[in-house]
Amino acid sequence: MPSSIRLLHNGFVRAILISNVCSQLGIWIRNFAVLLYVMDMTGGNAFAISMISVAEYGPIFLFSFIGGVLADRWRPKATIVWCEILSACSVFILFLMLESGSWGAVFFATLCSSILSQFAQPSGMKLFKIHVRDEDASIGMSLLQTLFSLFMIIGPILGTWVFQQWGISAALVLTSGWFMLSALAMLFVPKDQEASMNTATAVPSILQDMTAGIRYVVFKRDLLRLSLCFMVVGLGVGLISPLSVFLVTERLGLSAQDLQWITIPYGVGEILGGI
């Protein structure tokens, strides 16, 4: 605990934590508001519900590797700020489209925001490496992980409450606002170093770096096994996640809004597992 408190004296750590709080607020309000909205609009159509999960988690598989490679070439602070701003704009455009009656755009906006997250997150890790001492890096990462786990508990409750109280339009406006506040918090992070800005010679080797990264994992037995374990676990989670809402509505006979209570034990388990 003293080490964690001492780390909070670092201005970068405070800024990145505030930025992540704002970002997580936007993500969870958006995710649950969109889920409940699609449930209402489609009458609980299974395909539509599964497409929400594809829009939210598909980019993790497709773009996280690319985002990690590009994080070494792009200015990390600028990347995060622009990703948050573009996420806010995409959600606000969705709000305008909903006002005109084009409700199907919720899938596209969710997809865009999720893709942008895959470029922002690796840049955040790079900023940690730049601004936090090596001996404090693990503490800082654990603080971030605890923050994410905490929002797995309060995020569904908050997102459901916002949707119940004000509806999808207000939820999207709030989401856009939280993303903008996240970008604003990042402005207090020190300016990107000049060395990070020179990417002219690095761009041609992106494909080579991606190939080298895959080759490294393949020939490192421990990393390969770990990757396969994550792949299997991810496949299992992907299979059951879209079914949760139907477990609540069809098997338990409850409202879709009660889905929030099913997700809380998962967040508690994340926190306990981290400890």
Query: Does residue 122 contact residue 73 with C-beta atoms inside 8 Å?
Result: no
Query: Does residue 189 contact residue 195 with C-beta atoms inside 8 Å?
Result: no
Helices 134-186 and 105-131 pack at an angle, to 10 degrees, of 140
CA distances from 43 to 142, 160, 168, 180, 256 (A): 40, 17, 16, 33, 11
In angstroms, rounded to a whole number, what is the distance separating the alpha carbons of residues 151 and 145? 10
In angstroms, rounded to a whole number, what is the distance separating the alpha carbons of residues 146 and 140? 10
Full pLDDT tens readout for the chain, 275 residues: 456 666 777 778 888 888 889 999 998 998 888 888 888 888 878 888 888 878 877 777 777 777 777 777 788 888 889 989 998 888 888 878 777 777 777 777 778 888 888 888 888 778 877 777 777 777 777 788 888 888 888 888 898 899 989 888 889 889 999 999 999 998 888 777 665 444 444 455 677 777 887 888 888 889 889 989 988 887 887 778 778 888 888 888 888 888 888 888 877 887 787 67
Q: What confidence score (pLDDT) does residue 252 get?
A: 87
Q: Tokens at residue 270, please?
A: 């994340």
CA distances from 263 to 136, 230, 267, 269 (A): 31, 20, 7, 10
- pLDDT tens-digit profile of 53-75? 788 777 777 777 777 777 777 88
DSSP 78-105: HHHHHHHHHHHHHHHHHHHHHHTT-TTH
Rg (CA), the chain: 19
Q: Name 184's Cβ contacts closer than 8 Å, sequence gap at least 6.
A: none
DSSP 17-63: HHHHHHHHHHHHHHHHHHHHHHHHHHTS-HHHHHHHHHHHHHHHHHH
In angstroms, rounded to a whole number, what is the distance separating the alpha carbons of residues 85 and 182? 9
pTM: 0.80
Name the residue type at position 16. I
Q: Tokens at residue 266, please?
A: 């998962």
Q: Tokens at residue 105, please?
A: 């755009």
Name the residue type at position 85. I
Q: What confidence score (pLDDT) does residue 196 get?
A: 45
Q: What confidence score (pLDDT) does residue 193 get?
A: 67
In angstroms, rounded to a whole number, what is the distance separating the alpha carbons of residues 177 and 270? 28
Query: Does residue 10 contact residue 173 with C-beta atoms inside 8 Å?
Result: no
In angstroms, rounded to a whole number, what is the distance separating the alpha carbons of residues 12 and 128? 8
Q: What confidence score (pLDDT) does residue 174 get?
A: 92
